[in-house]
C-alpha cells in the first residue's frame, strides 16, 4: 500500500507562516499601495497635466479676477481725480507728478496681473510635468517604486522555495515584511501628496482671483506685508509641484540603485526547480 510522503513539522510551520504573512500583510499592503498610487496619479493628471486647471482659470477665476480688478480700478480712478484736482490747484506739495507715475505702473500691473500670475504657475507646471514624465518613463508610478524592492521577485521566489528550498523561508518572511512596510510608507506619502496637490490647485485659483489687490498692495506702505505674503504663497504653492516630483524622482533613482536593491532573495531561482 502506498504511503504519503512525510513532511517535516518545521517546514509545515514555516510554510503556513509565509502564507499568512503573504495573504494577511503583503497582499493588503500592495492593494493599499495601488490605491494610493492611483490617487496620486489622478491628482497629478487633474492639477498639472490635464487642461482642467486651465479651464477653471477661464471660468470662475476669470470672473473673480475681473471683480477684483474692477474694485482696484475704481480706487485708481479716485486717485486720478485727486491728482487732477491737485494739478489744477497747483498743490505741488502733495507730489502729484510722482503719484501719477506710480498710478500708471499700478494700473498696468493690475490689468496684467492674471497674465503674470499664470505665467509663473505655467512655468512651474511645465517643470513638474518634466519630472513626472521622467518618473513614469519606464511604466506607471506604482511599477517604478514596486521594482525598487523586487516585488515580483518576492512572489516568484515565495512560490519556488516552498517546493525545494525550505532554508530560505526566513529570507522570504523578512522580505515580505520589509516590502510591506515600504509599500505602506510609500502609500502614505502618495496619499499626502495627493491631498497637497489638490490643496495647491485651490490655493493657486484663489491667489489668481485676488491678484489685482496684491499687485496694488505693493505700492502702499500699510499693505506691503499682505502683498509680500501673497507673493510668498504664489511661489511656494507653484513650485511645490516640481519640488515634490523631483524628490520622488530622486528617491526612485536611489531605491532602484544596485546598493538599495540587494536583498536576501538575490540568488539563482533556477536551482529551486
pLDDT, residue 153, reads 58
Comparing CA positions, the residue from 256, 266, 19 lying closest to residue 135 is 256
What distance in Å separates the CA atoms of residue 270 and residue 273, rounded to the nearest whole number? 6
Q: Give the CA diameter of the chain.
A: 124
Q: What is the pLDDT of residues 144-173, one digit of tens each?
A: 776 655 555 555 555 555 555 556 677 777
Cell numbers 521622467: residue: 134
| Long-range contacts formed by 135-141: CB under 8 A, 24+ apart | 135/245, 135/248, 135/249, 135/252, 140/37, 140/41, 141/37, 141/40, 141/41, 141/190
Q: Model-level pTM?
A: 0.78
SS3 (DSSP) at 111:
helix
What distance in Å separates the CA atoms of residue 23 and residue 166, rounded to the nearest whole number? 19
Q: What is the pLDDT of residues 132-142, one digit of tens each?
A: 888 887 666 77
Structural Rg of the chain based on CA atoms: 30
% of the chain beyond a pLDDT of 70: 75
Per-residue pLDDT of the chain (273 residues; tens, 9 = 90+): 434 344 445 557 777 887 788 889 888 998 998 899 889 988 998 888 877 777 777 888 999 999 999 999 998 888 888 777 777 776 655 566 677 788 888 889 999 999 999 999 999 999 999 988 888 876 667 777 766 555 555 555 555 555 555 566 777 777 788 888 888 988 999 999 999 999 999 999 999 999 999 999 888 778 889 999 999 999 999 999 999 999 988 887 777 665 555 444 444 444 433
Q: CA torsion angle for 206, 209, 212, 213 (degrees, to 10)?
A: -50
CA distances 210 to 9, 196, 213, 217, Å, are 72, 21, 5, 11
Amino acid at each position: 500500500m502506498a504511503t504519503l510522503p512525510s513532511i517535516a513539522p518545521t517546514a509545515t510551520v514555516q510554510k503556513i507562516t509565509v502564507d499568512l504573512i503573504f495573504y494577511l500583510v503583503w497582499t493588503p499592503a500592495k492593494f493599499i499601495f495601488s490605491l494610493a498610487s492611483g490617487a496620486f496619479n489622478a491628482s497629478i493628471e487633474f492639477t498639472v497635466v490635464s487642461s482642467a486647471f486651465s479651464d477653471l482659470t477661464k471660468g470662475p477665476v476669470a470672473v473673480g479676477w475681473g471683480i477684483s480688478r474692477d474694485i482696484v480700478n475704481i480706487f485708481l480712478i479716485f486717485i486720478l481725480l485727486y491728482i487732477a484736482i491737485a494739478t489744477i490747484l497747483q498743490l505741488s506739495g502733495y507730489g502729484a507728478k510722482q503719484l501719477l507715475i506710480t498710478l500708471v505702473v499700478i494700473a498696468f500691473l493690475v490689468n496684467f496681473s492674471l497674465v503674470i500670475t499664470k505665467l509663473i504657475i505655467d512655468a512651474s507646471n511645465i517643470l513638474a510635468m518634466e519630472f513626472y514624465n521622467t518618473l513614469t518613463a519606464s511604466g506607471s508610478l506604482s511599477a517604478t517604486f514596486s521594482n525598487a524592492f523586487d516585488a515580483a521577485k518576492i512572489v516568484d521566489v515565495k512560490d519556488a522555495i516552498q517546493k525545494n528550498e525550505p532554508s530560505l523561508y526566513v529570507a522570504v518572511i523578512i522580505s515580505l515584511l520589509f516590502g510591506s512596510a515600504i509599500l505602506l510608507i510609500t502609500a502614505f506619502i502618495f496619499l499626502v501628496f495627493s491631498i497637497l496637490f489638490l490643496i495647491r490647485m485651490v490655493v493657486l485659483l484663489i491667489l489668481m482671483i485676488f491678484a489685482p489687490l496684491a499687485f496694488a498692495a505693493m505700492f502702499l506702505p500699510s499693505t506691503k506685508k499682505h502683498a509680500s505674503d501673497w507673493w510668498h504663497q504664489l511661489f511656494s504653492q507653484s513650485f511645490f509641484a516640481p519640488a515634490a516630483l523631483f524628490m520622488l524622482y530622486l528617491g526612485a533613482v536611489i531605491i532602484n540603485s544596485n546598493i538599495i536593491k540587494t536583498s536576501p532573495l538575490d540568488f539563482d531561482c533556477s536551482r529551486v526547480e
